[in-house]
Structure 1
């Protein structure tokens, strides 16, 4: 195992025995024992073994899971309910034994699993801090030195002196997070804990996680919030029915998750990650062609980028120019850029939905917008064999940084598209079918303005917001 590999699993599986009735727990081992008495190779022995195994079935919560995590990496684990995420975390945390396979963790492991796990409900908050420190191998004297920092981070006031059975769920998470991150773990495992608490506590948590990551701590994070995984985790692992579907950059793996979420009948093996033409006609219809399609050097090389697709469409090109149509990779703050992308439609689709997302150098989504959000007019049906070309205009009022691009195409029923403004966000999102996504295209750069007015820097922070300041009253 390489020296910078902190977590390694190989063929990890976990099976649970499901009994058909309570009495089977007694009958099965008795019949298996009798088979040994008569001899398992004798006719009666084989019959007894057959009856013993008929009382149960084995459920594979995990099936042959293999992956590695490097030092200082943030690693997300995603999947639908029942996919095996929590089982995997419990094995990594050492609270559950695998049925087969092997795993290795190097260093001190701190885990935030089930709410309140590791806490004695009768002990006060302070007593539980000392107890958890002892469990993690931190001496009492050292935990007493860190107690003030734990209290300040948890920020639960005088409740720190009360039994934790009196705590709300938010208070439990605050204290647990404070303890687990103050013991300087080599590996920190978090199962949904960041979804609890107000926005101020969440911001505090992410700042603390960033500090740990800079020290080389591995962060393993499970969350149903895809935006958290996409923006915080370097890589992600997608589980489906206990099987590994995909491992890779988190934005790419998340697109695979959406395909699974859409298709409940997805097989346990992963879909092909590069879309191949299926039923497209040989003669391609080319519609939605802009007046000016840029020259070849305006386009990025996407030949080595995985296309997360379901076989309905594939991306042909992604390009970038300035307003004059000239290829460009470096823009001043506030300049307008034109993004071009083209898709080949491989099966008949309903109303297409296309869009673009920009990620800054910290992996944070800055703008992200699609044709539904713009209210763009799209054809109600697109036949197989069509090539769709799009031009997407964005005013780059962004912070000075390097950016990468994500593009994607989806579809929605024509009647749903016409009534899009009548749906809630969640309802509308559920009606959109994702077909093809590419991430990690680029990069391009946004730099300081050379001759900016009123000043060179257009704004502070990630993005510019429309507004202004006016003097209401002069107090002099």
Structure 2
């Protein structure tokens, strides 16, 4: 028996694009003259995914991810190449696929179950589990066309995971659900991993990809750009978003030492592989020190780090913000400082040619370990609406050492009171219990 769950050999997919609807009819009636423009969504995709592996698929919009998933799921035929899958496939693709909007949720459960090869008795035996997981109440007997996007994805995911799949395909759909449902879904995905189900996971949330997947591919313009572990895939993905200003590097080399602030202790070498810049500003120096300005990159739990970003502005910029954040190895943001939230706030205007220093201090109430820093300067119109002037992912590493002093990844302000027999306990009494 093969230990490969999914095998693709030189798979390509071409779509025809017609300038006018009548051109499609003309091509059918007069086949000698092509009237369509060919668009190759996939080109020569060769890929093998072992059984039991959770495999990530990452790419920008339009890279061919959805087309590839549909071909693997069997809902779309390739133009050329061979696709071999082993076992039952359950696919949670784009919102709306696989469900008849006129049917009720209950009818769609049975409809989808039969398509996936389950008998009526098997579906009936699993129906209560599906309904309980979806948790949409009386809407289960209402037409799907009346559902919100969140209700739809609840039912679709509940069906997908309860049909005993050998291969589960999840495409971005979980981003629609609320945080409680997402947490429940990820717990179930982990249970499926433990059972040896092959999972093909697609998401723009690179933190989730790194957390769930052992390996993945990066698709770009319908081709595999690289196959590697998630951290490498994430790095390559960010590179695709790099917007390089014309002659940015050459303009930087034109600056002499007199144009920059004098170099002082604590200057570090920053990793620029994941830089995204529009050329309007450049973070030119980064200092990591203790509060006494002595160079330091390893701190004890609870100590304070100072990070200084020396930034040159090449053009006039308004409502300027800056930030420093720390992430874990899965890419999850843990703590940080951001002038959108923190004093002194935004700079109303910075003129081209000016140099601004942003100095951040953060108390490292974190578990011991290594943390990746993200540093950025932006022109910020609102919390979610901004232009990234210069952003560097995984710029440097901060190491936190020593004994953990709290539960969870980060310490939060608060207190605990204990009442025993109706009376508050003092510290000494608590220790004696």
TM-score range (shorter-chain normalised) is 0.7 to 0.9
Q: Which residue of 1 aligns with 2:365?
A: 397
- Partners of 2:258 and 2:166 in 1: how far apart? 56
Q: Which residue of 2 aligns with 1:45?
A: none
1:206-248 C-alpha deviation (Å, 9 max, x unpaired):
2222333444545444456677667766677665665667776
CA positional deviation for 1:326: 5.4
CA positional deviation for 1:93: 1.6
Question: What secondary structure does 1:462 align onto?
Answer: coil
Matched, 1:209 2:189: yes
- Partners of 2:309 and 2:6 in 1: how far apart? 39
> Are 2:6 and 2:83, in contact at CA under 8 Å, matched by a contact in 1?
yes
Q: Which residue of 1 aligns with 2:383?
A: 425
Q: Which residue of 2 aligns with 1:18?
A: 17
Q: Which residue of 1 aligns with 2:324?
A: 356
How many residue pairs get matched? 410
Q: Which runs of 5+ in 2 are unaligned?
A: 424-433
Q: Measured at CA, do residues 408 and 69 of structure 1 come closer, stay the same or move farther in structure 2, by a change above 3 Å?
A: farther
- The root-mean-square deviation of aligned C-alpha atoms, in Å, is 4.6
Q: Which residue of 2 aligns with 1:283?
A: 256
CA positional deviation for 1:409: 4.0
> Are 2:101 and 2:144, in contact at CA under 8 Å, matched by a contact in 1?
yes
Q: Which residue of 2 aligns with 1:444?
A: 399
- Partners of 1:401 and 1:103 in 2: how far apart? 46
Matched, 1:252 2:220: no
Q: Which residue of 2 aligns with 1:294?
A: 266
- Partners of 2:165 and 2:107 in 1: how far apart? 20
Q: Which runs of 5+ in 1 are unaligned?
A: 33-48, 267-274, 413-419, 450-456
The TM-score normalised by the length of structure 1 is 0.67
- Partners of 1:24 and 1:183 in 2: how far apart? 43
- Partners of 1:435 and 1:117 in 2: how far apart? 39
CA positional deviation for 1:95: 0.8
Match of 1:197 among 177, 199, 206: 177
- Partners of 1:89 and 1:403 in 2: how far apart? 35
- Partners of 2:215 and 2:285 in 1: how far apart? 25
CA positional deviation for 1:59: 2.6
1:401-447 C-alpha deviation (Å, 9 max, x unpaired):
523313344454xxxxxxx5xx32233x1xx2344524284362354
- Partners of 1:237 and 1:434 in 2: how far apart? 29
Question: What secondary structure does 2:394 align onto?
Answer: strand
- Partners of 2:384 and 2:103 in 1: how far apart? 42
Q: Which residue of 2 aligns with 1:44?
A: none
1:439-458 C-alpha deviation (Å, 9 max, x unpaired):
28436235435xxxxxxx33
CA positional deviation for 1:156: 2.4
> Are 1:74 and 1:213, in contact at CA under 8 Å, matched by a contact in 2?
no
- Partners of 1:349 and 1:164 in 2: how far apart? 52
CA positional deviation for 1:110: 1.5
Q: Which residue of 2 aligns with 1:306?
A: 273
Q: Which residue of 2 aligns with 1:335?
A: 303
CA positional deviation for 1:366: 0.7
Q: Which residue of 1 aligns with 2:431?
A: none
Question: What secondary structure does 1:426 align onto?
Answer: coil
